[in-house]
Structure 1
């Protein structure tokens, strides 16, 4: 039997919502028997002094969710429901270490290599490209894209990277994705079981951890003055080699052509070897022209080129791509024919117009000039503050540089002190993938990013860094 009342003065919930919730509660708490007939809509409406339409809407919602069933010309009945298994209230509470709170970033300064400067982003021009995307591509936006993403966008990117990076490819070879990690996971899925990978050390911790989590035997391979050590590569003999030749992360080394040819020849000597070239911030080069991609030298289709717009547009845009050799492209299409890409088609078509109209390259030119000014000013300020205690690996490329500073403060303490000083900062230790090659006592290596810092804050950032060290 149903016993409840309705608050007609309640402005937050409609009458039918109150009826629905009250009946549902009685059902879930077992106060109504299985197969018990509910009052007719008219009967319940009269009892509650409400409209029949309100009762009808409540019954229809309960019916749609499976709480009740109906028999034609007979009425509504209680469905058979299992009782919930209830755990203790304490076991349902979230542990404190899993909770998140929004961090107050006021007063912080950033020397992070991961951030970019959006203060110079041409939002008006981007918005005009968004309007063009909406007016021209409504049909495509209403459909599920293919596994590789829009052909038109891939065609635009193929022309761009051919012009700016020397990458030789057809639009068909490009796969669009939401980030390098996601694309790399797909690429690894194309490989046979038992493959081994090699990665630069120090290098990308995220990629190293991801490969190991995917049960790929991964060797951390050391560096020399030319980038990844070719001798160690030959000794480790991996099938996959993940490198950043145009601006090694995190040391900044630019791999010379002699080492590039040596690695390409190494890959060509055995079938099934691939070099994954992560060209993460090659658009930024100061004083000289950009250095062509490793892929541009490849004569044997052994290089998988990976690029991103996260550095040029901003990390939040999440647009990346990889260029597959034809042999791997066939395998990709066979394996991922069911795949729905994680990219945002609206952003991709917007990017297409941003590139096609020349806005993208004009934006890059402005940002190169802007970043070069910040970089020079920051180096000057650090040398002024630290004097002979600092050695800056002054490689004019990318959005960060490496600085070795004399200090007795250990890396773990540096991170804690940086938080107190509200300075976002990372040491080289964070990116060491194995125990070898630690810094000498009395010396720390810092990865100094300059994209996010405002010029007027550079002096204060250097002062805070000096207090930390």
Structure 2
């Protein structure tokens, strides 16, 4: 008879679970040999002083997991289970220290991050109403897997909106919704040939640069001039794809003039299968004048792939972005990704549909433009007063960041380390330089994001920045 003790006082562990765990342990340790018969349910219940139901439940779980088998009218028997190969000790199985995570402590930190947004003015009540509409109107759709490119209703709403606000010419069928620019770029470029060349602005978006490199593509950083990406550099390298941010170059903030846009569109149109990837990441925010039209709105030859996101205008955690593919690329995309599962939450997507349709999105954008413009002007003014002639602000009245150049003897490494000591989150230009660049800059350039910092924290943040730089 198998003997072990059941603690009936344990409230956290059911009796059947204790029986199951002990028997499983005996079987795996081969203390009960293969093909040996287990006691009957009645015998086991009498031995342990528990109910037959508890024993029956434990046996059924062991049977379901393959530890035992039954023979009709004879009872339960132990399966023939191989011995485990000698494994590592418990200590050796522990997660290595360098892989362990510690909770981030943001207490006392201030941020000039270009990534963050101001969530304090997000209209949560209106968004929840849109979610309620989505639940009441789309119960069936919410219980099903959405179209690989996203629900058609949502794509139609997005195509109408960007046609009105950005001049983008497209049909809903051309839109692919995804959980961010990065996965969409990965999907698009993963179906290109291994000899594909793609040019990217330098300085530019380092995360996109790394994604493209990880795909083993030939990635060509191209420098900038006062109008944006250097057209001569593009012509000399002759890439198949060109990734760029014409409406608000990231990170310098340059707004590309129409003359350079036409040059680039003509370059794309006169080559075989040349495409421009336009990342329109924060074009909703423009101060003083109307929004800059998208590059895609000038495209006459279907050579621009347009990317947009709601991460800057709504909340980054919503993870809703999209790309607009020309018909030729759309065919190729659909061929490769017809079985793809849409990654975005259908509830969030339908909520977005109603949020846009009822005008709440447009109201929110207008309100945030006024809010960000006020904060931006205050920050620029106080920076100029604090740093005097030691700062040169390269201000383009658009987006959620601007570039500031500082006269200092410190290196980028020293600035980065001092910023940590001051608990000030900043991103220097070095972070966005693509490829190797060992040259020592004359001055330090910092990308100043102003979206997340509170107005009453600006003075303190500038004081910390002054201690970092000077």
Q: State the TM-score bracket (shorter-chain normalisation).
A: over 0.9
**Cα distance, 1:277 vs. partner?**
0.5
**Secondary structure at 1:284's aligned position in 2?**
coil
Q: Distance in 1 between matches of 2:376 and 2:448?
A: 10
Aligned to 1:347: 348
CA contact (8 A) 1:37 1:75 kept: yes
Aligned to 2:407: 406
Aligned to 2:50: 50
CA contact (8 A) 1:190 1:328 kept: no
Q: How does 1:100-115 map to 2 (within 5 A)?
A: 100-115=101-116
Aligned to 2:332: 331
Task: Provide, for residues 334-371 of structure 1, a one-character-per-residue CA deviation record: whole Å limited to 9, x for no partner.
Answer: 11111002111111111111101100010000000000
Aligned to 1:73: 73
1:124 and 1:439, CA in 2 relative to 1: closer, same or farther beyond 3 A?
A: farther
- How many pairs does the alignment contain? 468
Q: Distance in 2 between matches of 1:263 and 1:219?
A: 16
Aligned to 1:274: 275
Q: Distance in 2 between matches of 1:96 and 1:410?
A: 31
**Cα distance, 1:192 vs. partner?**
2.5
**Secondary structure at 1:129's aligned position in 2?**
helix
Q: How does 1:33-432 map to 2 (within 5 A)?
A: 33-85=33-85, 86-432=87-433
**Cα distance, 1:372 vs. partner?**
0.3
1:164 and 1:439, CA in 2 relative to 1: closer, same or farther beyond 3 A?
A: farther
Q: Which runs of 5+ in 1 are unaligned?
A: none
Q: Distance in 1 between matches of 2:438 and 2:168?
A: 34
Q: Using structure 1 for the length normalisation, give the TM-score.
A: 0.98
CA contact (8 A) 1:242 1:277 kept: yes
CA contact (8 A) 1:154 1:174 kept: yes
1:25 and 1:319, CA in 2 relative to 1: closer, same or farther beyond 3 A?
A: same
- 2:467 is equivalent to residue 459 of structure 1: no
Q: Distance in 2 between matches of 1:385 and 1:437?
A: 31
**Cα distance, 1:26 vs. partner?**
1.0
**Cα distance, 1:435 vs. partner?**
3.5
Q: Distance in 1 between matches of 2:378 and 2:7?
A: 68
**Cα distance, 1:171 vs. partner?**
0.3
CA contact (8 A) 1:439 1:445 kept: no
**Secondary structure at 1:91's aligned position in 2?**
coil
CA contact (8 A) 1:199 1:218 kept: yes
The runs of at least 4 aligned residues of structure 1 exceeding 4 Å deviation read 436-439
Once structures 1 and 2 are overlaid, which stretch shifts more, 22-31 or 387-396? Answer: 22-31
Aligned to 2:16: 16
**Cα distance, 1:190 vs. partner?**
2.9
**Secondary structure at 2:311's aligned position in 1?**
coil
**Cα distance, 1:89 vs. partner?**
3.6
**Cα distance, 1:93 vs. partner?**
2.4
**Cα distance, 1:461 vs. partner?**
0.4
**Cα distance, 1:138 vs. partner?**
1.3
**Secondary structure at 1:3's aligned position in 2?**
coil
Q: Distance in 2 between matches of 1:467 and 1:99?
A: 33
Q: Distance in 1 between matches of 2:96 and 2:290?
A: 53
Q: Distance in 2 between matches of 1:262 and 1:29?
A: 74
Task: Provide, for residues 182-207 of structure 1, a one-character-per-residue CA deviation record: whole Å limited to 9, x for no partner.
Answer: 00111112323311110000001111
1:101 and 1:329, CA in 2 relative to 1: closer, same or farther beyond 3 A?
A: same
Q: Distance in 1 between matches of 2:448 and 2:405?
A: 10
**Secondary structure at 2:121's aligned position in 1?**
coil
Task: Provide, for residues 302-331 of structure 1, a one-character-per-residue CA deviation record: whole Å limited to 9, x for no partner.
Answer: 111010000001211110000010111111
RMSD: 1.1
Q: Distance in 2 between matches of 1:101 and 1:193?
A: 39
Q: Using structure 2 for the length normalisation, give the TM-score.
A: 0.98
Q: Distance in 2 between matches of 1:225 and 1:240?
A: 22
Q: Distance in 2 between matches of 1:305 and 1:248?
A: 15
**Secondary structure at 1:219's aligned position in 2?**
strand
Q: Distance in 1 between matches of 2:246 and 2:80?
A: 65
CA contact (8 A) 1:203 1:249 kept: yes
Q: Distance in 1 between matches of 2:233 and 2:440?
A: 20
Task: Provide, for residues 210-264 of structure 1, a one-character-per-residue CA deviation record: whole Å limited to 9, x for no partner.
Answer: 1111100100000000000010001111101100000000000011111111111
Q: Distance in 2 between matches of 1:260 and 1:72?
A: 80
CA contact (8 A) 2:406 2:445 kept: yes
**Cα distance, 1:91 vs. partner?**
3.0
Q: Distance in 2 between matches of 1:381 and 1:438?
A: 31
Q: Distance in 2 between matches of 1:266 and 1:137?
A: 45
**Cα distance, 1:436 vs. partner?**
4.7
CA contact (8 A) 2:169 2:296 kept: yes
